[in-house]
């Protein structure tokens, strides 16, 4: 019986020694123990902060500060090149687009074969009480046409054409006339300092132009 008791005590003592050794009480810690593993994971001396750098709009002179936008309206087509040159030394993103002008509707009698024929047709108009017309004499495809009126809307042109028909003018026609762009709109992006100071100074030099916040 004493043999088993001695064996039991020896087993307990061996477990105590093993426990003390694993806890580092003998001066050396186990390589896989949590405190050392945590230290290896952190490696504080190797940590560094990486700064992120935002990318702005690319302007005429490089990178521009993003987030600010202005809309320039009423800039005549003839002033575009001078305006672009004035912006060239500023760090801005510039987008220029022509503004489509409204179409017009021309009520007229198609071109006649000669000036004499046009004069004869004009005399017929005058005979029925229509005097608001003129004969086109300029060189081109509409020479010797007889203009009766120019309207901003198709509805107005159609109404006038019907009136002419009731008065006996059966040869009149409507032609849609596309107006070429006369102005441009400019979207300018960049820093607030440039957009709020330099840009208004440049726009103020152009008659009819205005600057406002982008919609």
CATH of the domain at 209: 3.30.70.120
- Ramachandran area for residue 158 (φ above 0: left; ψ -120 to 50: alpha; else beta): alpha
**Model pTM greater than 0.85?**
no
- Asked if residue 26 and residue 115 are part of one domain, the reply reads no
CA distance 116 to 76: 41
**Residue range of the domain that includes 173:** 104-177
The answer to whether the beta carbons of residues 107 and 149 sit under 8 Å apart is: yes
Question: What's the pLDDT tens digit per position in 139-198?
Answer: 999 999 999 999 989 999 999 999 999 999 999 999 998 777 778 889 999 888 888 888
Give the confidence band of 94 by pLDDT, cuts at 50, 70, 90.
confident
Tell me if residue 134 falls in helix, strand or coil.
strand
Question: pLDDT value at position 173?
Answer: 94
Say how far apart CA 134 and CA 54 lie, in whole Å: 64
Domain count, the chain: 3
The confidence band for 45, taking pLDDT boundaries of 50, 70 and 90, is very low
Measured at the CA of 173, the angle between CA 175 and CA 183, to 5 degrees, comes to: 20
Residue 126 and residue 89 share a domain: no
Residues 92 and 186 in one domain: yes
């Amino acid at each position: 019986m004493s043999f088993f008791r001695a064996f039991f005590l020896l087993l307990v003592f061996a477990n105590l020694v093993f426990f003390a050794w694993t806890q580092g009480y003998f001066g050396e810690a186990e390589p896989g123990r949590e405190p050392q593993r945590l230290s290896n994971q952190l490696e504080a001396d190797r940590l560094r902060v990486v700064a992120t750098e935002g990318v702005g709009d690319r302007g005429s002179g490089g990178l521009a500060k993003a987030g600010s936008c202005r809309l320039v309206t009423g800039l005549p087509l003839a002033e575009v090149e001078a305006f672009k040159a004035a912006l060239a030394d500023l760090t801005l993103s510039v987008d220029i687009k022509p503004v489509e002008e409204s179409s017009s509707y021309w009520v007229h009698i198609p071109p006649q074969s000669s000036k004499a024929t046009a004069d004869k047709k004009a005399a017929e108009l005058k005979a029925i009480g229509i005097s608001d017309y003129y004969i086109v004499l300029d060189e081109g495809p509409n020479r010797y046409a007889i203009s009766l009126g120019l309207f901003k809307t198709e509805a107005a042109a159609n109404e006038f054409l019907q009136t002419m028909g009731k008065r006996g003018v059966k040869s009149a026609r409507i032609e849609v006339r596309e107006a070429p762009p006369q102005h441009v709109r400019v979207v300018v992006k960049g820093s607030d300092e440039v957009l709020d100071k330099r840009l208004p100074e440049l726009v103020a030099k152009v008659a009819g132009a205005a600057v406002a916040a982008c919609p």
